[in-house]
Structure 1
């Protein structure tokens, strides 16, 4: 919830165009998805589900990597440290 507020704040306060704002939002969603995949992997213990968790995490990593490359092409320069500082200002 807080990260959504941070992303919205960053989108509104930066001079990004619509494509750049879309990429920022997509990166945040991909980051969440990757964390969910990792959490899921930690709780499963059946071999078939472990395989599923591995493939799902690999797909999430690929999407995240792709979006980071797109952000680089669009000259988006936001790192987690920037987001952390903005979070302190929001809270």
Structure 2
């Protein structure tokens, strides 16, 4: 198969990856973003494992919205803090 940027493909050996869209191609490898959300680099020696797929079947992975983490309130210590002693250097 001739792999071009923008092509929609599926990997015949790793069907669990889903359908992928080629984002970058060079002489050594192709970078493909698959439906499972992973970006994979396929070497040119494995291009024979790729087959064309229906462009309508490619669904870009959903963007993950970052969830704001709630921080726990720090417990206030019952002990008073000790004052640090500063030693003056004698010259």
* Same-fold status (TM-score > 0.5): no
TM-score bucket (shorter structure)? under 0.3
Computing the radius of gyration from Cα coordinates, the structure with the larger value is 2
Higher helix share: 1
Higher strand share: 2
Higher RCO structure (Cα 8 Å, ≥6 apart): 1
TM-score, normalised relative to structure 2: 0.25
